[in-house]
Copies of this chain bind each other. A is one copy, B any other.
Amino acid sequence: MNKVAVGVNGYGVIGKRVADAILMQPDMELVGVADIATDWRIASVANRLPIFAATEDARLAMTVAGLRPRGTLDELVELSDIIIDTTPKHVAAGNLERYRTAGVKAVFQGGESHATTGHSFVAQANYDSALGRDTTRVVSCNTTSIVRVLGALDTAGLLLRARGVLIRRATDPWESHLGGIMNTMVPEPSIPSHQGPDAQTVLPGLDLVTIAAKGAHTQTHNHYWTIQLTRPATRDEVIAALRAAPRIAFIRISDGLVALNSTIELMRDLGRPRGDMWEVAVWEDLVTVQGDEVFLTYQVYNEAIVIPETIDAIRALTKLAPDAASSMAITDSTLGMRKDFLSAQLP
């Protein structure tokens, strides 16, 4: 099989997950990961991953730390057919010209603006329009979840308009010592929050407004949606529309999955890498329909949900797979994605 050579620039929350997912793909080869860190973050994987220094300074520091980098970012770019840039917000956009000059394709993350690449990506929504492009941008965790869930209702012809309240996690778990949000809630300073317009970069027709706030917890986002349907519908119809869409998995309060932490613990018990949940977890027994309105509650694992999209974006840009279905089939089976986490179906 023709393997695509993939380099990952930035070995942080997203980068390390992307690297591991690439290692699981039969049609991709991980040629290296680049970063500037020289501590446990890189030392813990230096024996199993090809490490590159993102800068000349980092190369010196890594060498001093005994990490033996194989080269710098320029050399990683040269070895790669495509670069996944998971460096911090705005750092990534600054790398765009370097990738263009080197003639390498590039996938950016949701921290960058739509304008950086001119294309925003969610596999099930618009894989086709990314086919063969030089660059795309995998939208953020919250936006990905919105496109999956509202897109499912839209595909079923049920969505008229949606209004959502997004309670975001305070900070990422690994950065919690830097200070997060304790014992309070922090509303975003404007309505709509950015996730609504961001989802429209993928599904321009959606009528949606998002209101966001940060909560005093570090793991996963939590969305509460009020959705007006195009017509009165039954609860079964709504559930069927969600079930028909990929990468949405049902959970139930009646199964004891009563809060964000119980789902997180289940992922650990299932042996998921890092306890990740790539699916959007919709509480099936909270799906409530009143006439032409549906109320939805779901959980978004912000560290993990964009990983499958990033893998599919690689296939779209490099034309490794001709359509979303064939790419997603490989991604979902290699990662072990599920359609539900109901007790009757576990493990």
| Chain A residues packing against B (C-beta within 8 Å) | 163, 165, 167, 181-187, 189-192, 209, 211, 213, 215-219, 222, 224, 226, 253, 258-261, 264, 283, 285-286, 288, 290, 293, 295, 297
CB pair A297 B211 closer than 8 Å: yes
Residue in contact with A222 in the complex, picked from B189, B213, B290, CB distance below 8 Å: B213
> Shortest CB–CB separation between residue A314 and chain B, in angstroms?
33
A213 to B209, CA, bound (A): 20
In the assembled complex, the CB of A120 is this many whole angstroms from the nearest CB of chain B, namely: 23
Say yes or no: A167-B213 contact (C-beta < 8 A), given A183-B261, A191-B286, A286-B187. yes
Are B191 and A222 neighbours in the complex by a CB distance under 8 Å?
Answer: no
Given known A-B contacts A165-B224, A224-B165, A288-B191, A259 and B219 have beta carbons under 8 A apart: no
In the assembled complex, the Cα of A297 lies from the Cα of B209 at a distance in Å of 14
Contact A261-B184, Cβ < 8 Å, known A215-B167, A295-B211: yes
Residues of B close to A295: CB separation below 8 A: 163, 191-192, 209, 211
Closest to A176 in B: B183
In the complex the two chains form, is A189's CB within 8 Å of B258's CB?
yes
Check if B186 sits within 8 Å of A259, measured CB to CB. yes
Q: How far is the CA of A290 from the CA of B211 in the complex (A)?
A: 13
**What chain B residues lie within 8 Å of A264 (beta carbons)?**
184
Given contacts A187-B253, A187-B259, contact A216 B213 (CB under 8 A): no
Question: Are A185 and B217 in contact (CB-based, < 8 A)?
Answer: yes
Q: How far, in whole Å, are A240 and B310 apart by their CA atoms in the complex?
A: 48
Closest residue of chain B to A298 (Cβ to Cβ) is: B187
**Cβ A217 vs Cβ B184 within 8 A:** yes
Question: B211 contacts A260, CB within 8 Å?
Answer: no
Q: How far is the CA of A290 from the CA of B207 in the complex (A)?
A: 12
What residue of chain B has the Cβ atom nearest to residue A184's Cβ? B261
Q: With A209-B295, A259-B184, A261-B183 given, is the CB distance from A253 to B215 under 8 Å?
A: no
* Cα A163 to Cα B225 with chains together (Å): 10
A182 nearest CB across to chain B (Å): 8
Contacts of A226 in B (CB 8 A): 163, 209, 211, 226
Q: How far is the CB of A38 from chain B (nearest CB, A)?
A: 30
5 cross-chain CB contacts under 8 A: A183-B261, A184-B264, A187-B286, A189-B258, A191-B286
In angstroms, Cα B183 to Cα A283, docked, is 19
Report which of B163, B185, B217, B286 forms a contact with A260, defined as CB distance below 8 A: B185
Report the bound CA distance from A167 to B212 in whole Å. 12
Question: What CA separation (Å) do A290 and B190 show in the bound complex?
Answer: 13
A216 and B214 CA atoms in complex are apart in Å by 11
Q: How far is the CA of A183 from the CA of B176 in the complex (A)?
A: 11
Question: Which residue on chain B has the smallest CB distance to residue A222?
Answer: B185
Q: How far is the CB of A246 from chain B (nearest CB, A)?
A: 24
Which residues of B sit under 8 angstroms from A216, Cβ to Cβ? 183, 215-217
Q: What residues on B are CB-neighbors of A213 within 8 Å?
A: 167, 222, 224, 297
- A sample of 15 more A-B contacts (CB under 8 A), given A191-B295, A211-B224, A211-B295, is A163-B293, A165-B224, A167-B215, A181-B259, A183-B217, A183-B261, A184-B260, A184-B264, A185-B260, A191-B286, A191-B288, A213-B222, A215-B216, A215-B217, A216-B217
